[in-house]
A and B are shown apart, each in its own frame.
Chain A
């Protein structure tokens, strides 16, 4: 799709650099997910994609569309904002799931903080 609008050269350089940086961050995260040994170590690499990767792509989109339409177009901002709200919730719940399931399987994980007063102690979760 060749658009007839001629963009400034620095806009193309900046967009290309941001996109390549983002894809390299995402590849690093995927390598981390594949190669790390423990589940709790594997929880860390996805943060690379949801913070640095998403910010780089959103900035590239903002720069490119702003130059294309010659006015500020910042709706791609919504993606990192949404991710910064939703990713901690998922990560926290997955970490608790991993801890719970490892504890049920009898692995060597830290014990529960609440010292067994029955059902009522789960208020802090």
Chain B
């Protein structure tokens, strides 16, 4: 891996972290509960993309499975939270 690719990976990880911070501000100050759920869902997506980028950086396959798991848990968590806000209970 040359310096170009490793520097690009570092830069993109840094930008992902900046995006996470911006989303975290919305998560903390969001006026309503659904804003916070939306921001949490976005945080899950960014974390999953960061896992894929780390997999490229360390040339390892293990990070892909972690990314898949984060995607699944993010879907289940956001679905349950939205369902709870909509109906007052998760499973009817």
Could you list which residues of chain A lie within 8 angstroms of chain B, going by C-beta atoms?
1-3, 7, 12-13, 15-17, 19-20, 22-24, 26-27, 29-31, 33-34, 39, 42-43, 45-46, 49-50, 53-54, 57-58, 60-61, 64-65, 68, 75-76, 78-79, 82-83, 86-87, 89-90, 93-94, 96-98, 100-101
Contacts and interface: CB of A to CB of B under 8 A. Distances in A.
Contacts of A78: 68
A39 B46 CA distance: 20
28 contacts: A1-B58, A3-B1, A22-B12, A23-B12, A23-B15, A23-B16, A26-B19, A30-B18, A30-B22, A30-B23, A33-B39, A39-B32, A42-B26, A50-B45, A54-B49, A61-B52, A61-B56, A64-B56, A68-B59, A79-B52, A83-B71, A90-B41, A90-B75, A90-B82, A94-B82, A98-B32, A100-B86, A101-B85
B63 to A, nearest CB: 9
Contacts of B19: 23, 26-27, 29-30
Contact of B86 (A2, A23, A65, A96): A96
A30 B15 CA distance: 11
Interface residues of B, number: 51
B51 to A, nearest CB: 9
Given A26-B46, A94-B38, A97-B85, 14 more contacts: A1-B58, A1-B59, A7-B2, A22-B49, A23-B16, A29-B19, A31-B22, A33-B26, A46-B42, A57-B52, A61-B52, A82-B71, A94-B37, A96-B86
B77 to A, nearest CB: 9
